Amino acid sequence: MLSDTRQHFDKCLTNARTQGTKTNKIVEKLTTNRGFWLTLLLSIVTLGIYGWYLVYAFARETNIACKEDGKKTTGLLLYIIFTIITLGIYSIVWQAMLISRRGAYLIRHGKPEGLSVGLYILTVLLLGGLTLGIMYLVVFCKYLYQQNAVNATYNELNNL
């Protein structure tokens, strides 16, 4: 009797594991309400540490939402290491690649891309300094809203 119960339990456990990996996908709701002013305030108050959290969160959320494209955005640790090694150049490249990936995701799902890589690069290299940082803030705002749009699209597609 006890061995029959044990065998039945093992069979149910095996079925649950294989069903969970083959048919059921775990889907989490992604954040869609990151606002510019609160993000700016948190970045100032935390002396930039919140910006590193955003790198982590954006990489994670983009990898979840855009997994169908087969690419992977590197996370915070590699971002910090490569940014230090390349004297800041990697952070510009990383953000440009992230903007491109998110834009392609939005276009694939019939949404406006919101921010182009060209505008981002132009702002970082030229317009940000010429406008005393004002244009950089505008692009950062669009950058946040693009992530919100990607997350909202993902939530909508997964009925979350």
Classify burial at 120, counting beta carbons within 10 Å of its beta carbon; exposed 0-12, middle 13-18, buried 19 or more: buried
Cα 58 to Cα 21: distance, rounded to the nearest angstrom: 26
**Model confidence pLDDT, tens digit, residues 70-87:** 999 999 999 999 999 999
Task: Tell me how far apart the alpha carbons of residues 106 and 109 are, in angstroms, rounded to a whole number.
Answer: 5
**Residue 90, token pair as written in the block:** 């990697």
What pLDDT does 18 receive? 43
- List Cα–Cα distances, 21 to 43, 95, 140, 149, 160, in angstroms: 39, 33, 38, 29, 20
Confirm if 30 and 64 have CB atoms less than 8 A apart: yes
Q: Which residues contact 104 (CB under 8 A, 6 or more apart)?
A: 66, 69, 113
**Which tokens belong to 147?**
């992530």
Q: Return the pLDDT at 6.
A: 52
Between the alpha carbon of residue 68 and those of residues 29, 59, 62, 65, 149, the distances in Å are 17, 15, 11, 8, 17
The tens place of each residue's pLDDT in the chain, 160 residues long, gives 545 555 554 555 454 444 444 445 678 999 999 999 999 999 999 999 999 999 999 999 999 999 999 999 999 999 999 999 999 999 999 999 999 999 999 999 999 988 999 999 999 888 888 888 899 999 999 999 999 999 999 999 999 8
For residue 112, give both structure tokens: 């406006």
The domains of the chain are located at: 2-157
How does pLDDT run across 37-64, given as a tens digit for each residue?
999 999 999 999 999 999 999 999 999 9
pLDDT at 131: 87
